[in-house]
Structure formats: structure tokens, C-alpha cells
Amino acid sequence: MTPNRSARRTNESPATRLRDALLARVRDSDSEGGAALLSAIIFMIIMAGLSVVLLSTVLSQTVPSVAAQRNTKTVYAAQAGMQASLAMLRSAAAAPDATGAVYGSLSQLKCSVTGQVDAQANGLGYTATIQYFASNPSAVPAPVAIPCSALGVSSQPKYALITSKGTAPAGAGSGTAVTGDRTISAVYAFKVSNINIPGGRIFDDNNALCLE
């Protein structure tokens, strides 16, 4: 005869009943619970790794991005300096003569031109240096520049070499000061004619008046 199950339980020790209760709870629990927890942990590890890679990529591109932005600004500032220099060269004229004709004035030719691109551009500006030559400065060997001062140039130039530099305050990229001023240059050819200008004194080779 098979003993009654309830009767068997009454004869079991407390430790045995506790073991049976724990085993029953384990058998009744979801068998996929451990796999889901493991999947969640693996997913968190993968996302943390991807976040670290993405962060390092963003930080490594900060300095090049700031430098590229600065280069773009300063190259346009240098072009503004180039245009300002050309405007100065083309407008360097003396007062009209007795016939009303207007000719260029050597005293109006400047050695440099500086300025700001915009009053709200946070220090974005340009500095252009101008050298004057009697022959093409692109030739080899390069010719000697005509002396230039605040009073203009000492003799008639035929070419001008303009070197314009765009400047801007250093930007910050990842805590690093980023510079990147741009410089452009160009050769300007003057339109020089040999026409006679009415009026003025005539000198001989000894720098003495030959006509009154």
C-alpha cells in the first residue's frame, strides 16, 4: 500500500521542506529570465563601447573643424584686403590739370592697407602689403622693389605686388588654440602711357633749367 503523501510531509524535517520549496520555486520560474538578463547586459556593454568610440571621434574632429572654419573666414578676409588694395591703386589720382585731365599721383600710392571686414565680425580683418616694381616681380631673378614711404613711391612703377593676409582671433578646439590665417598674393599691372603732360618745367641732364 502506497503511503499517503500528506503523511510523508509530516514526517519530513524543516530543512527538507525548505529544500523542496526552493526547488519548486526554481521549477516554476521562467526558464528564459536568465537569458534576457544576459542579453540586456551584453547590449549595455556594446552601447557603452559605441558611445566611447563616437565620443573619441567627435573630439578628434573638433580641432580640424575649428581650423577649417577659421581658414574659410580668413581667406575671405584676405580677398577683401586684396580688393581694398586694388581700389586704392585705381583711385590714386592727382587733381585735374589745366585741361581737366586726371592722371595718377605717385604720392597717393600706399605701402600697406589694413581694415576690418565687418564691425561685428569679432576681429576679422586684413593686412595687405604692397610692393612696387619697374618690371614684372614674377621674373627670375626678382627685381628690386621701388622704395615706398608715407609720401608714396619715388619713381613711376609699372607693377605692384599685393600680399594680403586675413586675420582672425584664435579659436578654441578641445581646449587648444587654433590658428590658421590665410595669405593670398597677386600682381597688378599699371596702365602707363608716354603722353606729354602740358605745363611744368623742362630740365637738362645736369638738372638745370634749359628753357624759361
128-149 per-position pLDDT tens digit = 999 999 999 998 888 999 999 9
Retrieve residue 158's grid coordinates. 609699372
pLDDT number for residue 179:
64
Q: Pick left, alpha or beta for residue 61 (phi over 0 → left; psi -120 to 50 → alpha; otherwise beta).
A: alpha
Strand blocks (E) in 20-174: 112-116, 125-133, 148-149, 152-153, 159-167, 171-173
Rounded distance, CA 70 to CA 124, Å? 10
Residue 52 CB: number of other CB atoms within 10 A?
A: 10
Where does the pLDDT of residue 199 fall: very low under 50, low under 70, confident under 90, or very high at 90 and above? low
Structure letter (DSSP) for residue 195: P
Phi/psi at 39 (5° precision):
-65, -40
Q: What is the mean pLDDT of the chain?
A: 80
Burial of 73 (0-12, 13-18, 19+ CB in 10 A): buried
Rounded distance, CA 45 to CA 161, Å? 62
* Distances from the Cα of 139 to the Cα of 40, 129, 133, 185, angstroms: 73, 19, 11, 15
Q: 55-109: per-residue pLDDT in tens?
A: 888 777 777 777 788 888 889 999 999 999 999 999 998 878 777 778 888 999 9
The predicted model scores a pTM of: 0.62
